[in-house]
Amino acid sequence: MTVQKKLRELLNRKEATLLPGAVNAMFAHVVEDLGFEAVYATGAGISNTQLGLADVGLISMGEVLNHVRYMCEAVQIPLICDIDTGFGNALNVYRTVRQFEKAGCAGLQIEDQVTPKKCGHFAGKAVVDVEEMEIKIKAALDARQSDVVIIARTDAIAVEGFDRAIERAQRYREAGADMIFVEAPRSMEEIQAIPKLVAAPLIINMVEGGLTPLLNRRQVSELGYTFMLHANFPLKAAVKGIQDALIHLRDSGQTEDIQDKIITTDERNRLTKYEHLQELQRRYKLL
């Protein structure tokens, strides 16, 4: 079964699927290794880690694509990729979808912000006209050559208000989007209303420190959402671990007493398929 078909099967589940974010191939592999059924290539996280900069539309299509190729190669589970605004107009969307589909993505998320975009939980966002986004969705549908899932995201709550965001979500579904993502609902009332008003598979984004109240998987499932996204939780956790470990090294001058805070060399080798590579080297008489 292709990763695209696997993802489409997840769209029909009653229980929400947990969707952790990943910033590179190692993160994606860890997500898969821990039993999650899908992984999300986070544009914000890739910008944070590769540029060392906030998610304000500075990273290019080519930079994201190179990373996502490695991520798709590293895992067998479906990977959904955040492709921002499609990196331009409808023609850019067409090329972007073709390239990321070839890279192995199972789903592609396009948003209705202007280019360059900003993180969905940042201030100062702007959105394109509804008609422009509908044309972008059409371009995405025309471009795809497999069952890749097209996800339409609206950031209109912060710009035009909740009612207009719902209207946009409905129109994007009518335009052919397979899945809808209404970004940054600000209250439980808005979270509860979205599944009642938008007849489509839905993503809800749980952002620690963001604009949306944090819920658990049971709550999200009961409300009717299809995917529960934690796009930047793994990265935030990893950076906190790095900070704590380096502070200890800086202040104590040693790491001997915090071995339980890091993975072992054996575990690192397991995650990076060292034994398999050793077997190949023996087969080809490189050892």
pLDDT in tens, 78-96: 999 999 999 999 999 999 9
* Res 73 pLDDT > 80: yes
Phi, psi of 105, deg, nearest 5: -70, 145
Instruction: Say which CATH class 9-238 falls into.
Output: alpha beta
List Cα–Cα distances, 108 to 78, 244, 278, in angstroms.
11, 35, 35
Specify the pLDDT at position 50. Answer: 95
Quote the strand ranges of the chain, DSSP E.
Answer: 17-22, 39-41, 79-82, 107-111, 149-154, 179-182, 202-205, 227-230
* Res 119 pLDDT > 90: no
* Res 31 pLDDT > 80: yes
Specify the pLDDT at position 123. Answer: 84
Mean pLDDT of the chain: 96
Specify the pLDDT at position 124. Answer: 84
* Res 122 pLDDT > 90: no
In this prediction, residue 139 has a pLDDT band, given cuts at 50, 70 and 90, of very high
* Res 107 pLDDT > 90: yes
Least confident among 109-113, 117-121, 209-213, 269-273: 117-121
In this prediction, residue 62 has a pLDDT band, given cuts at 50, 70 and 90, of very high
Which residue ranges make up each domain of the chain?
Answer: 9-238, 255-287
The set of residues, in sequence order, having a beta carbon less than 8 Å from that of 284 and lying 6+ positions away, is: none
Query: What is the maximal distance between C-alpha atoms in the chain?
Result: 66
Specify the pLDDT at position 120. Answer: 77
List Cα–Cα distances, 278 to 125, 221, 269, 285, in angstroms.
50, 44, 11, 10
The set of residues, in sequence order, having a beta carbon less than 8 Å from that of 266 and lying 6+ positions away, is: none
For residue 60, give the 3-state DSSP assignment.
coil
pLDDT in tens, 221-267: 999 999 999 999 999 999 999 999 999 999 999 999 999 999 999 99
Specify the pLDDT at position 118. Answer: 83
Specify the pLDDT at position 116. Answer: 87
